[in-house]
Chain A
Amino acid sequence: MAVTAEDVKKINPLVPIRAKVIKIVQETPDVKTFHISTMDDKKPFDPMPGQLGMLSLPAIGEAMFSVTNKGESHIEMAIKSVGQLTEALHEIEVGQEVGIRGPYGNGFPVDYCKGKDILFIGGGIGLAPVRSLIMHCIKNRDDYGKLTVVYGARSKADLCFKEDLFENWPKVPNMDVFVTIDREEEGWDGHVGFVPAYVEELAPKPQVTVLCGPPVMIKFTLPTLQKMNFKDQDIITTLELRMKCGIGKCGRCNIGSCYVCLDGPVFTMEQLKDLPPEY
């Protein structure tokens, strides 16, 4: 049995369990996806889409990552190399033992999204958390309406989850996948341009949109979504701030009186409008 959120609350939530990396996928030059199992080949915990896990190489550090997918006996985290810990993670090989604790955070409103057409918007590594919900919708395909993915990255090489984007997802019934890169390049005959403009051009008609990407993408996509007449409660995003404890105690991931690790990372535009713009 995988550890549930309730179990985590009973044990010491700040102490990780020992786990191992069973597979590493090089997604882009600076993004790798790590498949992680417990030492006895089980899922370290059973996250809901959008929930987080604290991964550590204890001698170097510990950081919070979204769980991008889960399997029968593992979870997956897609990690971009940007700092001390993530650079070290990019050096490890299959078999590496790591510390892991979680799940943390609220996750995406999977029930609220049921029966609805969903537009997923991702930029760069921002597809990682969104992918957990996409995978959930695919797994429970009959529970959700039309799925539309609009994803962009700087270049072809920087596109994460290429197998999903070009092989797996286009085969899913009633699912469209649109991929764009920022600038023309040799060997790319797909769309070129930024995500917000592409969304506007495609003008899909979903009921709910789920977006995650760099702040600049979010900033320019929101006016587009507003033009598309989304209600604020139907614009859903997931945020990232520096975190240490993951349980709403250590203080640093606050936005106003909310803690991203506990009350987030998923917020609707309706909720964000009530919070100070400090993220």
Chain B
Amino acid sequence: MKTVLKTKLPELFEKLANNYTVFVPAKIEGISRFAPYQNGLELALEENVLMPPKDIFFPQTEKMYKFKAKDQYLEIEDLPPEEGQQVIFGVRSCDLKSIDCLDQVFLTKGFVDAFYQDKRDRSILIGLSCVKPMENCFCSSMGVDPQKGVGADIQAYDLGDKVGFEAITEKGRELLGKIETLLVEEAASVPAVEKFVLTADIEGVPEKLKNMFDHPIWDDICRKCLNCSVCAFVCPTCHCFDIASEVRGEDGTKIRCWDTCMFDEYTRMAGGHQPRPGKKERVRNRFMHKLRYFPERYDMLLCTGCGRCVAKCPVNLDITAVIRKIKEAE
């Protein structure tokens, strides 16, 4: 396996940064997230980052097009295309799986989302294996292999003081070729994953939920929810968005930004009709979407077991506990 010392990684990123925007896990003002590599950046390789990589492909706020509106006149103008290839290093298996989920949403079922596709096409993904699950991680319960993700161009392995690389795609092979001089070929074995603290038994849950829309369980599950949406904002798979305008005088920009089914505004119609009027309906939709609707539509769960919502929910509404309650419900 081709390896590099972790202490040499900045050198490797530096080299790649000549040709690519290189996103790496970093600590920025106390929050760990993917950030473009630059000299002096504090890397965060010990555990997964708090903010998932989805905003690289699906920014929290994204400009879509510009317009000019004056009296009866209207002009609609495309934004200049973004250019340049990007490398995303250190994507854990849970987050690689989430990109697979996002690909399903944005690239399939008849329409292709051009904004997402453009960023995705310009990206090279380097996965990074996990050795020690964090306290809220349960990816292995959701069918994710913490050592090897799906859809990476290169899979990197945490070998302790080193990182090993395995090219998966042609794009990946090409990229490894560009940093060959920094890598050493040596025999290396990938360390076994340590035991997960948190687990979930998802077997049969999507099917069972088909008959649980009216089950009293939702009254219980929703009770403590604040509809604050932190779960959706840290979620690597949540992909709902709003479309809005920023207007200054005659000039405007159409933007889209992350939205969530936790909010009343999300489904409330002009005229006042609200198909999901309370938090029970909204909480139910969130979990139904992740565990039943998405599997029905795309044949995969919309939860990768990253544990971020478990870690960040202010009232500890834990999806693994929800799964357990569903399993136990009569």
**Residues of B contacting A255 in the complex (Cβ-Cβ under 8 angstroms):** 275
CB pair A252–B113 under 8 Å, yes or no, is no
CB pair B270–A256 under 8 Å, yes or no, is no
Least CB distance from A90 to B in Å reads: 12
Contact with A along B234-261 (1 / 0, CB 8 A): 0000011111010100001010100101
- The one of A13, A83, A97, A279 in contact with B114, judged by C-beta atoms closer than 8 angstroms, is A13
CB pair A241–B74 under 8 Å, yes or no, is no
Chain B facing A: main interface SS: mixed
CB pair A242–B267 under 8 Å, yes or no, is yes
**Residues of A contacting B106 in the complex (Cβ-Cβ under 8 angstroms):** 249
Most chain A CB within 10 A, of B65, B112, B270, B276, is at B270
**Residues of A contacting B275 in the complex (Cβ-Cβ under 8 angstroms):** 241, 255, 278-279
Is A15 in contact with chain B by the CB < 8 A criterion? yes
- What's the Cα separation between A40 and B65 when bound, in Å? 22
- Chain B residue nearest to A10 (CB atoms) is B112
- What's the Cα separation between A7 and B37 when bound, in Å? 39
**Residues of B contacting A250 in the complex (Cβ-Cβ under 8 angstroms):** 240-243, 256, 259
Q: How large is the interface on A (under 10, 10 to 19, 20 to 34, 35 or more residues)?
A: 35 or more
Is A251 in contact with chain B by the CB < 8 A criterion? yes
**Residues of A contacting B112 in the complex (Cβ-Cβ under 8 angstroms):** 9, 13
CB pair A251–B241 under 8 Å, yes or no, is yes
- What's the Cα separation between A98 and B296 when bound, in Å? 37
- What's the Cα separation between A86 and B112 when bound, in Å? 29
Is B266 in contact with chain A by the CB < 8 A criterion? yes
CB pair A97–B270 under 8 Å, yes or no, is no
CB pair B268–A244 under 8 Å, yes or no, is no
- What's the Cα separation between A83 and B273 when bound, in Å? 12
Given contacts A59-B67, A95-B72, A241-B269, contact A252 B109 (CB under 8 A): no
- What's the Cα separation between A13 and B294 when bound, in Å? 22
- What's the Cα separation between A84 and B261 when bound, in Å? 22
- The one of A99, A249, A256, A257 in contact with B111, judged by C-beta atoms closer than 8 angstroms, is A249
CB pair A242–B268 under 8 Å, yes or no, is yes
- What's the Cα separation between A84 and B268 when bound, in Å? 13
Contact with B along A114-146 (1 / 0, CB 8 A): 000000000000000000000000000000000
Is B82 in contact with chain A by the CB < 8 A criterion? no
**Residues of B contacting A247 in the complex (Cβ-Cβ under 8 angstroms):** 110-111, 113
- The one of A18, A98, A215, A276 in contact with B75, judged by C-beta atoms closer than 8 angstroms, is A18
Is B105 in contact with chain A by the CB < 8 A criterion? yes
**Residues of B contacting A113 in the complex (Cβ-Cβ under 8 angstroms):** none
- What's the Cα separation between A123 and B239 when bound, in Å? 36
Is A93 in contact with chain B by the CB < 8 A criterion? yes
**Residues of A contacting B281 in the complex (Cβ-Cβ under 8 angstroms):** 278
CB pair A254–B285 under 8 Å, yes or no, is yes
Is A235 in contact with chain B by the CB < 8 A criterion? no
- What's the Cα separation between A12 and B288 when bound, in Å? 30
Contact with B along A243-275 (1 / 0, CB 8 A): 011011111101111000010000000000000
- What's the Cα separation between A93 and B71 when bound, in Å? 10
- Chain B residue nearest to A21 (CB atoms) is B72
Chain A facing B: main interface SS: loop
Contact with B along A92-103 (1 / 0, CB 8 A): 110111110000
Least CB distance from A114 to B in Å reads: 25
Least CB distance from A40 to B in Å reads: 15
- What's the Cα separation between A62 and B75 when bound, in Å? 15
**Residues of B contacting A98 in the complex (Cβ-Cβ under 8 angstroms):** 74
CB pair B243–A97 under 8 Å, yes or no, is no
- What's the Cα separation between A215 and B293 when bound, in Å? 24
Least CB distance from A10 to B in Å reads: 9
Contact with A along B112-136 (1 / 0, CB 8 A): 1111000000000000000000000
**Residues of A contacting B67 in the complex (Cβ-Cβ under 8 angstroms):** 58-59, 99
CB pair B259–A9 under 8 Å, yes or no, is no
CB pair A58–B241 under 8 Å, yes or no, is no
**Residues of A contacting B259 in the complex (Cβ-Cβ under 8 angstroms):** 244, 250-252
Given contacts A99-B76, A254-B293, contact A249 B105 (CB under 8 A): yes
Is A24 in contact with chain B by the CB < 8 A criterion? no
- Chain B residue nearest to A215 (CB atoms) is B273
- What are 24 A-B interface contacts by the 8 Å CB criterion? A9-B111, A9-B112, A12-B78, A12-B114, A12-B115, A13-B112, A58-B74, A59-B245, A61-B245, A83-B270, A83-B271, A84-B270, A86-B270, A96-B72, A242-B267, A242-B269, A244-B259, A245-B243, A248-B110, A249-B106, A252-B240, A252-B267, A254-B289, A278-B275
Interface residues of B (CB under 8 A from A): 64-65, 67, 69, 72-76, 78, 105-106, 109-115, 213, 239-243, 245, 247, 252, 254, 256, 259, 261, 266-271, 273, 275-276, 281, 285, 288-289, 292-294, 296-297
Give the 10 A-B CB pairs with smallest separation, nearest first: A83-B270, A251-B240, A97-B74, A247-B111, A257-B293, A82-B271, A257-B296, A12-B114, A58-B67, A257-B297
